[in-house]
Amino acid sequence: MGMLNLVLTNISRKPATRLYPFEIREPFKEFKGRIVFDPENCILCGLCQKKCPPDAITVTKADKTWELNLFRCIMCTECVNGCPKGCLSISNERAKTGAKEVIKIAVPIVDKPKAPKAAPSK
């Protein structure tokens, strides 16, 4: 008897599902969608690489590049919390399917002139 009631109420209800590719639900604002990297402030310290559990990030000091392997990233946000310069953030947009596997971003780090050595005290 219980099931008949459920079936009758479901007939008069609007569908529980969405016509997916045509109707896309807005992502929730708390959703962890993908990692966004802002190369401006990065100092290539490599902390994010050290913290990342599945080794998705590679920081190469020699070529000044920051690399993220999208297929490896598990959206744990350890790198976001660990970055001292705040150049990593998380966006609630879903990563597009068929995205490139690796994003490689050049970091425009300027070689600062070395600070002159302090004069030896007498």
Q: Which range binds other proteins by CB under 8 A, 37-45, 46-54, 93-101, 113-121?
A: 46-54
Can residue 77 be called a binding residue for other proteins (CB under 8 A)? yes
Residue 15 or 98 with smaller CB distance to other proteins: 15
CB 43 within 8 A of CB 35: no
Residue among 33, 59, 60, 64 that touches ligand SF4 (CB under 6 A): 59
Q: What single letter denotes the amino acid at residue 38?
A: D
Can residue 93 be called a binding residue for ligand SF4 (CB under 6 A)? no
The Cα 26–Cα 59 span in angstroms is 33
Q: Residue 60: beta bridge partners? A: 65
Can residue 85 be called a binding residue for ligand SF4 (CB under 6 A)? yes
**Out of other proteins, ligand SF4, none, which partner does residue 3 contact, by CB within 5 to 8 A per kind?**
other proteins
Smallest CA-to-CA distance from 78 within 67, 66, 90 is with 90
Q: Which range binds other proteins by CB under 8 A, 36-44, 68-76, 101-109, 113-121?
A: 68-76
- Supply 103's token pair: 């994003």
Q: Which range binds ligand SF4 by CB under 6 A, 15-23, 77-85, 98-106, 114-122?
A: 77-85
- Supply 122's token pair: 């007498």
The Cα 58–Cα 45 span in angstroms is 11
